[in-house]
Structure 1
């Protein structure tokens, strides 16, 4: 709702500013400047600069073609038809569709005026320039997306920690997990919202290229997928607390050290020690013990991959910063 109100106010202010500017300059068809601003503001900010450039250079082409054919045909409707037959293929060939409709409206002004001179050409190009310029200026204002994104990140990380604690508790007490499924559903919802806000954030800049937040939430999304496997392993009941307890304690450690900056390298080293401990423990004596040992190893492997996903993300982030 806030975004709708913001965009409504932005478009309204932009359209009025363009119309008033064009009218104050004594331009004909000054309302068209407002329409051009509206179209430009409806586009993603990152693309509005590119589309604005498209409209400008195709505007020169459109006015040139329209002026020629309308003049030759004494400003008849056939001249406008010839203009369309030439201009449309040119725009499509240049892959500059953003300039098609807007500049055809400008060409129709020449048809309505019924003459071609310096003033008419200046009038149409001025309308185009004012409409685009006002939109680009208004797009310099960036809504505060980052604070909201950081809030979502914080809530996401807290939910991860809570879920890991629940899993550790299950391993420790050999109970069924309560609340993990709802937590995973909550994580998916938070991550989806975080990704949406991240895309809005990066698209609110003209030239920003480093997209840390969307990559961060994509990384967390991968971790949720791995956590889903861990949940399945935890559904099994372990016959001996002694075997499950070391893994439960380690899962608690992962939860305590879970934060945005922790690369998890120490945790990965500790996993190797834990794996060796299990390998050196007495062999299972029964089928149930064997199956439970296998489940513990599966949980440990998934937990390792869970941590490794974060480590690789931070390593790639450092690489991006070094390149930049």
Structure 2
């Protein structure tokens, strides 16, 4: 927000000075238009500036016809609003409604419609919205470091979650607060928001690594929730739980590794085969625990499937993911 305020101040003062230089009246209106034109991302700046300019020119046309035909009265302003606003909304020009009103009210204050007045208003639009667009294009804060910190935080929390689940399998009475899960959810959602903004600042690039990364972690968070539910059902100690706990610990380590190896998946398949070769459960409790462990292993496989699926998406994203620790 601090950067946007600074950019808005610069855009406004530049617009006012330029308007003064070209003898546009009132010059302060160029500053108002510049304030309205500053946006969060470059793409938003370009698309919304175009929308505002088109809407304002249309508004000038509607207002000129209405004022010349019906006169300059307060109620004709209401007529202008009733006629122009629905049309602008219909053609996806809502962003330009306010800027349109700025220019139309200027015409109303003059009490006449002339070519010179219309040209003055168009020039004010070009100067005000143009200044905002130029400032938008010149500088946008680099969020790479912030995204890296969020990634490290998410992976650290996933590591802790896997180790906590493994500990719970070994000690069913262990009580976990779930703080890491909440922190991971918060950081993932924040990462997605920043990644979307970062991608919209890349006008000539279609790289979406960070958005892909955090979307992957978001989907994996759902599987972690299912894993927690399966672990909660293991209400007693059983020797079958130990190899699953070891795989959970390895999954936590792999989350922070540099490459996707798939070793956990192979071990999960081997462990599933061992479970099938074992004797059938002799008690209801053993049956329920073993069933929960099998479901837990299924969710671990799904967790790995998500990473593998995202890693293979598109040539551009794939190369980025392989370079940037997108692993289990």
CA contact (8 A) 1:264 1:311 kept: no
Indicate which of 137, 149, 166 corresponds to 2:164: 166
Match of 1:108 in 2: 105
Match of 1:149 in 2: 147
Relative to structure 1, is the Cα distance of residues 186 and 56 closer, same or farther in structure 2, using a 3 angstrom cutoff?
Answer: closer
Provide the secondary structure at the position in 2 that maps to 1:176: coil
TM-score normalized by structure 2? 0.84
Pairing 1:99-248 to 2, within 5 Å after superposition: 99-140=96-137, 141-171=139-169, 173-179=170-176, 181-206=178-203, 209-235=206-232, 236-241=234-239, 243-248=240-245
Relative to structure 1, is the Cα distance of residues 105 and 189 closer, same or farther in structure 2, using a 3 angstrom cutoff?
Answer: closer
Unpaired runs of 5+ in structure 1?
Answer: none
CA contact (8 A) 2:209 2:317 kept: no
* 1:141-177 Cα distance to aligned partner (Å, 9 max, x none): 1112221011101111011112212222333x33434
Unpaired runs of 5+ in structure 2?
Answer: 320-328
Indicate which of 27, 37, 40 corresponds to 1:40: 37
* Cα distance in structure 1, aligned partners of 2:79 and 2:252: 70
RMSD value, Cα: 2.8
Relative to structure 1, is the Cα distance of residues 301 and 138 closer, same or farther in structure 2, using a 3 angstrom cutoff?
Answer: same
Match of 1:8 in 2: 5
Pairing 1:279-294 to 2, within 5 Å after superposition: 279-294=276-291
* Cα distance in structure 2, aligned partners of 1:247 and 1:195: 32
Relative to structure 1, is the Cα distance of residues 160 and 74 closer, same or farther in structure 2, using a 3 angstrom cutoff?
Answer: closer
CA contact (8 A) 1:167 1:177 kept: no
Aligned residues: 317
TM-score normalized by structure 1? 0.85
1:247 deviates by 1.6
Which is further off, 140-149 or 97-106?
97-106
* Cα distance in structure 2, aligned partners of 1:183 and 1:78: 60
Which is further off, 32-41 or 104-113?
104-113
Provide the secondary structure at the position in 2 that maps to 1:282: coil
Match of 1:256 in 2: 253
CA contact (8 A) 1:41 1:139 kept: yes
Relative to structure 1, is the Cα distance of residues 64 and 163 closer, same or farther in structure 2, using a 3 angstrom cutoff?
Answer: closer
Match of 2:272 in 1: 275
* 1:215-246 Cα distance to aligned partner (Å, 9 max, x none): 322321222222222223323244433x2222
